[in-house]
Amino acid sequence: MQTLIKNAIVVDTEPEPVVVGRADVRIEDGRIAEVGPGLAVADGTDVIDGSGRIVMPGFVDTHRHTWQAAIRATMGDATFAGYLERVLGRLAPAFRPEDVHAGNLAGALECLDAGVTTLLDWSHIQFTPEHTDATVEALRASGIRAVLGYCHGGQPSELAAETRRVHDAHFSSPGLVSMVLAALGPEIVPEEHALAELETARELGLPVTAHLGGHSPDSAAQGLAFLESRGFLTPGTTFIHANHYSDEQLKVIAGAGGGVSVSPIDEMTLGIGYPVTGRAQAAGMPVSLSADTVTCGPGDMFSLMRTAYTLERGRPDGAGLGFTTRDVLRMATIDGARVAGLGDVTGSLRPGKQADLVLLRTDCLGLAASYDPITAIVLNADTSAVDTVLVGGRVVKRGGRLVGQDVPAALDAVAAAARRVTAALS
């Protein structure tokens, strides 16, 4: 079946963000087949009227603890230490597998509703095999393109065997949901534990995503030395909250093929450090954006783009004044896909890629009469502009409403999980 988006304002991101202009996008077998003006309409084509719409690649979030949609807004005005104590110390142990399913499904649908078509679910709620099975089931049920960042939450002695079980049981063949290893890493757990994580990832051929560089300059240097000395500073490794690396250390990571995931709102509000956005870009590596957690921040890419842009432009040393809205849009799309290991799959409108697309309304007061569509996307748009969303060519939102989902049931389930889990706070 073909789908044809007609007469939209096309914004692409590869090799750099650019306004293509008014054109059509043809989709065949879930992939982008052609972009251009006046494309013919074949018999049986599903035509989506793009008039008054911007069509662009879907957003990519490279680090979100999706299960925490069930404990939203529990950590306002928090510190990082307070988050660790309350969320991971008190609330997480109260989650049953069915609560994880409810949080993951609601969180993934929240992403789709806001135009995030690809999600790296950094999931450190994997206490039992049943928790993991519920996580994967929810991601698949949502229809989002997801990468499960599997973080083993049981005994360290069980890490290798259980990670292998998850890989073999759920990811033995390609699909919309794939897997990486979410490592606690040498800055959080003892070196023996960190080494077991990395060796397991290497054995299974899994990329690694880890919270590295977000604690202190000394911790960042020690963790980087650990990776280098043991041969684990490898291409495709994602460094989350990499704020405490020096410019020279960032160049080392870039030279090794690493990338970073910046959570600009949580990094500032939790006191993790000033976002490394522009410094990492200058080092020559792909830079991506992430929501991290909705316990103390928003879950939409528009908020993240604006925050990243503002903080970089407002750097006290003035070094960020060359940072542009196009830089931010690239981070939210194609560079996010690269960091997630999906740069050849999604993130742009290049023919042959999966048709993960978003149509944004421009016929609303917040976006009307926009001179530059890219500036408007980054600085003016919000979730109310997200009209239509496609993942792999399949429409998951149309006319402002999610389709193919029982949204009321998902809301009831996550509300019930929230009531039960947050009882641990009383």
Determine phi and psi for 321, rounding to 5 degrees.
-70, -15
202 lies in a domain?
yes
Contacts of 300 (CB under 8 A, 6+ apart): 114, 115, 116, 291, 382, 383
The answer, as to whether pTM is greater than 0.95, is yes
Averaged over 107-128, what is the pLDDT?
Answer: 98
Token readout for 71 is 């404990």
Please report the pLDDT score of residue 123 as a whole number. 98
Determine phi and psi for 93, rounding to 5 degrees.
-65, -15
Q: How many CB atoms lie within 10 A of CB 189?
A: 15
Are residues 117 and 263 located together in one domain of the fold?
A: yes
Are residues 247 and 375 located together in one domain of the fold?
A: no
Are residues 36 and 140 located together in one domain of the fold?
A: no
Determine phi and psi for 352, rounding to 5 degrees.
105, -20
Count: domains in the chain: 2
Are residues 151 and 247 located together in one domain of the fold?
A: yes
Are residues 316 and 381 located together in one domain of the fold?
A: no
Are residues 384 and 310 located together in one domain of the fold?
A: no
Are residues 74 and 44 located together in one domain of the fold?
A: no
Over 80: is that where the pLDDT of 426 sits?
no
- Residue 308: CATH number of its domain: 3.20.20.140
Q: How many CB atoms lie within 10 A of CB 260?
A: 35
In this structure, are residues 243 and 272 in contact, taking their beta carbons and an 8 Å threshold?
Answer: yes
Using CA atoms, how far apart are residues 53 and 362, in angstroms rounded to an integer?
A: 6
Q: How confident is the model at residue 316 (pLDDT cuts 50, 70, 90)?
A: confident
Averaged over 53-57, what is the pLDDT?
Answer: 98
305 lies in a domain?
yes
The CA–CA distances, whole Å, from 372 to 54, 169, 295, 304, 362 equal 11, 47, 34, 20, 12
- Residue 372: CATH number of its domain: 2.30.40.10
Over 90: is that where the pLDDT of 317 sits?
no
280 lies in a domain?
yes
In this structure, are residues 123 and 135 in contact, taking their beta carbons and an 8 Å threshold?
Answer: yes
Are residues 137 and 252 located together in one domain of the fold?
A: yes
98 lies in a domain?
yes
Please report the pLDDT score of residue 270 as a whole number. 97
348 lies in a domain?
no
Last residue of a domain, one of 313, 339, 365: 339
Task: Quote the mean pLDDT of the chain.
Answer: 97
User: Taking Cα atoms as reference points, which of 332, 388, 400 lies closest to residue 54?
Assistant: 388
Determine phi and psi for 220, rounding to 5 degrees.
-60, -45
Q: How confident is the model at residue 42 (pLDDT cuts 50, 70, 90)?
A: very high
Please report the pLDDT score of residue 395 as a whole number. 98
Contacts of 91 (CB under 8 A, 6+ apart): 71, 74, 421, 422, 424, 425
Q: Residues of the chain with pLDDT > 70: what percent?
A: 100
In this structure, are residues 116 and 143 in contact, taking their beta carbons and an 8 Å threshold?
Answer: no
Please report the pLDDT score of residue 1 as a whole number. 78
Please report the pLDDT score of residue 380 as a whole number. 98
Averaged over 204-221, what is the pLDDT?
Answer: 97
Q: How confident is the model at residue 424 (pLDDT cuts 50, 70, 90)?
A: confident
Token readout for 194 is 């960190």
412 lies in a domain?
no
Owning domain of residue 117: 59-339
Using CA atoms, how far apart are residues 339 and 337, in angstroms rounded to an integer?
A: 5
411 lies in a domain?
no
Are residues 144 and 278 located together in one domain of the fold?
A: yes
Token readout for 426 is 């009383």
Are residues 133 and 24 located together in one domain of the fold?
A: no
Q: In DSSP terms, which residues pair with 49 in a beta bridge?
A: 6
Over 90: is that where the pLDDT of 170 sits?
yes
Are residues 213 and 87 located together in one domain of the fold?
A: yes
Averaged over 368-395, what is the pLDDT?
Answer: 98
Using CB atoms within 10 Å of the CB of residue 256, give its burial: 0 to 12 exposed, 13 to 18 middle, 19+ buried: middle
User: Taking Cα atoms as reference points, which of 87, 94, 79 lies closest to residue 295?
Assistant: 87
The CA–CA distances, whole Å, from 400 to 182, 300, 333, 383, 387 equal 34, 15, 21, 10, 4
Are residues 180 and 227 located together in one domain of the fold?
A: yes
SS (H, E, C) the chain: CEEEEEEEEEEECCCCCEEEEEEEEEEECCEEEEEECCCCCCCCCEEEECCCEEEEECEEEEEECHHHHHHCCCCCCCCHHHHHHHHHHHHHHHCCHHHHHHHHHHHHHHHHHCCEEEEEEEEEEECCHHHHHHHHHHHHHHCCEEEEEEEECCCHHHHHHHHHHHHHHHCCCCCCEEEEEEECCCCCCCHHHHHHHHHHHHHHCCCEEEECCCCCHHHHHHHHHHHHHCCCCCCCCEEECCCCCCHHHHHHHHHCCCEEEECHHHHHHCCCCCCCHHHHHHHCCCEEECCECCCCCCCCHHHHHHHHHHHHHCCCCCCCCCCCHHHHHHHHCHHHHHHCCCCCCCCCCCCCCECCEEEEECCCCCCCCCCCHHHHHHHCCCHHHEEEEEECCEEEEECCEECCCCHHHHHHHHHHHHHHHHHHHC
260 lies in a domain?
yes
In this structure, are residues 333 and 406 in contact, taking their beta carbons and an 8 Å threshold?
Answer: no
